[in-house]
Amino acid sequence: MGLQIDTGAILANHAALAAKAPGAIAAAVVKADAYGLGAAHVAPALYASGVRQFFVALAREGRAIRPLLPPDAQINILSGHLEGEDLTGLTPVLNSPAQFFRDRAMRPGQPFAIQLDSGMNRLGMEASEWAAIRSEAMAARPAFIMSHLACADEPDHPANAAQLAAFRAMTDGCDVPRSLAATGGILLGPEYHFDMVRPGVGLYGGMPFAGARPVVQLSLRVIQTRAVASGEMVGYGATWHAARDSRIATVDAGYADGILRALSSSGVQLYAGDRGCPVVGRVSMDLITVDVTDLDTVPDRLDLICPAQPIDRLADLAGTIGYEILTSLGARYPRTWR
Ligand SMILES: *Cc1c(COP(=O)(O)O)cnc(C)c1O
């Protein structure tokens, strides 16, 4: 069993997204342990390929990768400056006037950035709050000013243009770098790129970057196979009964490994090469049962994530998004990098 991660594909996806925003610096978002794939590996690899701007959600995540990156890597903390936080060597993205005043009192002269709310109403200063502190904040020279799009994965959504206009209205005339676009925003076009783009999911092979190279392959070991006679049941709740004499394989991962229980009875398959075998019965905590009746030989391993079943296909089957599939993949898997 194991998660195989293609570092070269992550770097190629970064380069491809950077090439779509040629005038802008291409940062890399490595929050949530690089979307579950391992920030301690991903961030240094991106640094070696030239990335200097990194984003994480929490100061704790920033402290974890700080020693792994040379000093000229800037690690930006999206949650900003929370009370009592150690931000040594990190750049908080300040989200409210309270954070701004706390940060300037505690870290005078240290780098900071500003997040404005352009309509998503999640993080960042409101236009009125920004107006009140703008001249003081600009005098302290933020590293950049950013905002975040709520609907960038829907190119025709009217919120995109509305947020763009709101961001412009709040920041035109500020002579510091500006940043609005994540993966989806990069794909919306040049007016969304400003001076820095912040791709996350696209680096890891997820939608909305349809051109991404796949990054993850997940192979599960077959522990046991058995003959199940027509009419017999398989798994918790007896939700599946064999419609014919069948061969069932049991593999060594389940929902405790991030294989969402919602995938039970969803049509999800495990792959022997390009041959799909239906998952039958419920996904249990540590095990999944698969109908391998139609295989001539049962291999040692079956793949859950592979070119035939990429993360966004799994996400559709589970009723979620690729982001949640990636970040759910547990720390239980051995990881191999290539
Ligand atoms: C998560 C996040 C990103 C990256 O978004 P993707 O859709 O994964 O590219 C960029 N900026 C902010 C503020 C984020 O929270």
Summarize pLDDT for 169-197 with one digit per residue, the tens.
999 999 999 999 999 999 999 999 999 99
Three-state DSSP string of 12-63: HHHHHHHHHCCCCEECEECHHHHHCCCHHHHHHHHHHCCCCEEEECCHHHHH
Residue 250 has pLDDT above 70, yes or no: yes
Q: How much is the pTM? A: 0.96
pLDDT value at position 331?
78
Summarize pLDDT for 55-65 with one digit per residue, the tens.
999 999 999 99
- Determine the Cα–Cα distance for residues 131 and 174; give it in Å rounded to an integer: 12
pLDDT value at position 291?
98
Q: Which atom of ligand 1 is nearest to the CA of 29?
A: 4
| Residue 1 DSSP SS3 | coil
pLDDT value at position 1?
63
CB neighbours of 155 closer than 8 A, spacing ≥ 6? 187, 188
Residue nearest to atom 6 of ligand 1 (CA): 200
* Local confidence band at 330 (pLDDT 50, 70, 90 cut-offs): confident
Place of tokens 């949650």: 79
* Local confidence band at 334 (pLDDT 50, 70, 90 cut-offs): confident
The closest of 14, 330, 55, 306 to 179, measured between CA atoms, is 55
Residue 269 has pLDDT above 70, yes or no: yes
Helix ranges (DSSP H) in the chain: 7-20, 31-35, 39-48, 59-65, 97-106, 127-139, 158-171, 183-188, 311-318, 322-328
Strand 28-29 to 216-228 pairing: unpaired
Ligand 1: does its nearest atom lie under 6 Å from the Cβ of 182?
A: yes
DSSP run (H or E) holding 302: strand 301-305
For helices 39-48 and 7-20, give the axis angle rounded to 10 degrees. 50
The closest of 317, 323, 295, 326 to 218, measured between CA atoms, is 326
* Local confidence band at 72 (pLDDT 50, 70, 90 cut-offs): very high
* Mean pLDDT across 307-331: 94
* Local confidence band at 208 (pLDDT 50, 70, 90 cut-offs): very high
| Domains within the chain, CATH numbers bracketed | 2-204 (3.20.20.10), 216-337 (2.40.37.10)
Ligand 1: does its nearest atom lie under 6 Å from the Cβ of 280?
A: no
Ligand 1 centroid distance, CA of 146 (Å): 11
Residue 229 has pLDDT above 70, yes or no: yes
Ligand 1: does its nearest atom lie under 6 Å from the Cβ of 80?
A: no
Asked if residues 124 and 118 have their Cβ atoms less than 8 Å apart, the reply is yes
Residue 145 has pLDDT above 90, yes or no: yes
The pair phi, psi for residue 4, each rounded to 5°, is -100, 125
Place of tokens 């070991």: 221
Helix ranges (DSSP H) in 66-157: 97-106, 127-139
Distances (CA, A) of 14 to 11, 18, 25, 196, 233: 5, 6, 11, 13, 47
For ligand 1, mutation pick of 148, 153, 180 (most atoms within 8 Å of CB): 148
Could you tell me which residues are beta bridge partners of residue 221?
Answer: 301
* Local confidence band at 92 (pLDDT 50, 70, 90 cut-offs): very high
Asked if residues 181 and 149 have their Cβ atoms less than 8 Å apart, the reply is yes
* Mean pLDDT across 325-332: 89
* Local confidence band at 338 (pLDDT 50, 70, 90 cut-offs): confident
The closest of 262, 270, 256 to 318, measured between CA atoms, is 262
Tell me whether residue 196 is annotated as binding.
Answer: no
Q: What is the mean pLDDT of the chain?
A: 97
* Mean pLDDT across 13-17: 98
Q: Which residues are catalytic?
A: 31, 236
Asked if residues 197 and 179 have their Cβ atoms less than 8 Å apart, the reply is yes
Could you tell me which residues are beta bridge partners of residue 222?
Answer: 251
Ligand 1: does its nearest atom lie under 6 Å from the Cβ of 148?
A: yes
pLDDT value at position 141?
97
Tell me whether residue 141 is annotated as binding.
Answer: no
| Residue 124 DSSP SS3 | coil
Ligand 1 centroid distance, CA of 292 (Å): 39
Summarize pLDDT for 32-60 with one digit per residue, the tens.
999 999 999 999 999 999 999 999 999 99
